[in-house]
Chains A and B, each alone.
Chain A
Amino acid sequence: MKLQHYLGGLEGLGPVVFEKRVFVEKWEERIFGIHTAMMALSPQLPLPKTPSTFKTIWTWADLRKGAESLNPFDYFKFRYYEKWLGGISGYFIANGYITEAELEAKTAEYLADPSKPLPTGGDKAIDDRVVQYLVEGDSPKRDVVVEPEFAVGDNVLVKNVPSVEHTRLPGFLRNKAGVVETVYPGAYTYLCDTGPDGVGPAMPVYCVAFDPQVLWPNNTEPNFTLYADLYAAYVAAAPVAMSAAA
């Protein structure tokens, strides 16, 4: 199991950090911009072709897989965009766009002279596509006929699916009972197929309400409800005895 899938409810972490800035170092803006451009230029999107040499798929799922595959101590050690920088540079090396040696050599150049300017050039169609992606988005909603198994008010049990590399099921909800709060209209895909974990194809999504006393008995707060949006692959009918007791 990956600790990153089980963060909700983890104890002993100390006080929260109330840092309101989005970027705490100037360089963080650059890696954010690169990531957003990669998502926009990713070839599975129905956007105009451009001269960009980016030909491999990059979505949030790829970024998340990188963060989830980290040593959990490193996950806590490194700042948010430090993890992005590591994951994204690694992706460009692993997919043959650049080599580790090139990146090291260029890094040494900019370490020696941080004010050395970036190269210039590139086709405007690339930037236009990036803006078009931001404006239009990439809706996961699909107009397929689905018959949601559950209705608002139904008692459900979260499955303990065999997640491997990536999941959208918060670990603290596995095997827990809840009540359907919303059945979202339509069906939703996920950015990649998570294999035996079960998400990817279009399926209903539910918002499920959980009693925190069920999640963390005698170790939570009163007058509090936790809600989570869950793909149908993660939701099963509650056993009859459990429904009767609820």
Chain B
Amino acid sequence: MNNRFEYPGDREQKSAARAKALEALLIEKGVITSSTVDTVLNFFDSKMGPFNGAKIVARAWVDPAFKERLVADTPGAIAELDLPEGMAGAEGEHMRAVANGPGVHNLIICTLCSCYPWPVLGLPPYWYKDPTFRSRAAREPRAVLKEFGLNIPNTVEVKVWDSSAQIRWFVVPERPAGTEGLSEAELERLVTPEAMMGVAVAKAA
């Protein structure tokens, strides 16, 4: 038997040193600057992230006409809101939203890689990039969702969207019951990346 599935004990230290060595060499050789990587990371902390998607979904919850526009013309509806620049930027040039409803639950996957709508959701969590999730959700979405703690009965239609071309997808989850008195800002806090990809539903706090 070989050692194919054994990992060396210094796996993370070695990767950390190699990543830092690569960054150092690229700075020395003038490929990037010493602030390039931090510039990218800061952009995702402040401009592109799930905080934008939460605002979009909260607006859809309080404004049904906006929700209709969001599903019919996703970029146009997003452009109506006061969000950071770049909402049609990298990995969001062409986005499409699908809305959950009483008889339908949507799930977004990418079986070939990890396509994800950066401007509205930022970067994909590990579960989304996991080959096991990507493989299984295409054939047995309810079984997968159950492992995420979400039971979708057979009476609800499951729609799974595989992002194999250049469209980036997200889900407008249903507004949870018992949130009638909440402000839009309070509603935003109930919207998670998992709900906007369809492996969870939004819940009242």
Q: Chain B, 173-193, contact with A by CB distance < 8 Å: what is the 0/1 string?
A: 000000000000000000001
Tell me the chain B residues, 155-182 only, with Cβ under 8 Å from chain A: 155-167
Q: Chain A, 124-155, contact with B by CB distance < 8 Å: what is the 0/1 string?
A: 10110011011111111100000000000000
| Beta-carbon nearest neighbor of A135 in chain B | B86
Question: Which residues on B sit within 8 Å (CB–CB) of A29?
Answer: 37, 41
Flag whether B1 is at the interface (Cβ < 8 A): no
Given contacts A8-B139, A51-B30, A64-B112, contact A17 B14 (CB under 8 A): no
Tell me, in angstroms, the Cα distance from A119 to B31 when the chains sit together: 13
* Number of residues from B at the complex interface, CB < 8 A: 87
B16, A26: Cβ atoms closer than 8 Å:
yes
Contact of A92 among B22, B33, B127, B154 (CB under 8 A): B22
A169, B164: Cβ atoms closer than 8 Å:
yes
Inter-chain residue pair count (beta carbon < 8 A):
314
Tell me the chain B residues, 59-115 only, with Cβ under 8 Å from chain A: 85-86, 88-94, 111-114
Tell me, in angstroms, the Cα distance from A126 to B33 when the chains sit together: 7
A126, B90: Cβ atoms closer than 8 Å:
no
Given contacts A8-B162, A15-B132, A18-B147, contact A36 B21 (CB under 8 A): no
**Interchain nearest-CB distance for A191 vs B (Å):** 9
**Interchain nearest-CB distance for A241 vs B (Å):** 27
Q: Chain A, 42-60, contact with B by CB distance < 8 Å: what is the 0/1 string?
A: 0000000001111000001
Contact of B162 among A205, A228, A231 (CB under 8 A): A228
Tell me, in angstroms, the Cα distance from A60 to B93 when the chains sit together: 14
Of B14, B19, B34, B139, most buried by chain A (CB within 10 Å of CB) is B19
B33, A98: Cβ atoms closer than 8 Å:
no
Contact of A229 among B13, B159, B165 (CB under 8 A): B165
Tell me whether chain A's interface is mostly helix, strand or loop, or mixed.
mixed
Q: Chain A, 77-98, contact with B by CB distance < 8 Å: what is the 0/1 string?
A: 1001010010011001000011
Contact of A114 among B17, B22, B162 (CB under 8 A): B17
**Interchain nearest-CB distance for B21 vs A (Å):** 4
Flag whether A183 is at the interface (Cβ < 8 A): no
Contact of A7 among B19, B111, B125 (CB under 8 A): B111
Q: Chain B, 126-158, contact with A by CB distance < 8 Å: what is the 0/1 string?
A: 110111111110111111100110000011111
B125, A22: Cβ atoms closer than 8 Å:
yes
Question: Which residues on B sit within 8 Å (CB–CB) of A138?
Answer: 90, 93
**Interchain nearest-CB distance for A105 vs B (Å):** 8
A119, B34: Cβ atoms closer than 8 Å:
yes
Using A27-B20, A32-B40 as known contacts, list a sample of 9 further A-B pairs with CB atoms less than 8 Å apart, ordered by residue number in A.
Answer: A4-B112, A19-B130, A76-B131, A103-B18, A114-B13, A127-B36, A170-B112, A215-B139, A221-B141
Of B90, B114, B124, B138, most buried by chain A (CB within 10 Å of CB) is B138
A33, B38: Cβ atoms closer than 8 Å:
yes
B85, A135: Cβ atoms closer than 8 Å:
yes
Given contacts A53-B31, A131-B39, A229-B164, contact A7 B135 (CB under 8 A): yes
Contact of A223 among B20, B23, B94, B154 (CB under 8 A): B154
**Interchain nearest-CB distance for B8 vs A (Å):** 12
**Interchain nearest-CB distance for A39 vs B (Å):** 8
B26, A97: Cβ atoms closer than 8 Å:
yes
Question: Which residues on B sit within 8 Å (CB–CB) of A190?
Answer: 166
Tell me, in angstroms, the Cα distance from A119 to B35 when the chains sit together: 10
Question: Which residues on A sit within 8 Å (CB–CB) of B138?
Answer: 8-9, 170, 172, 226
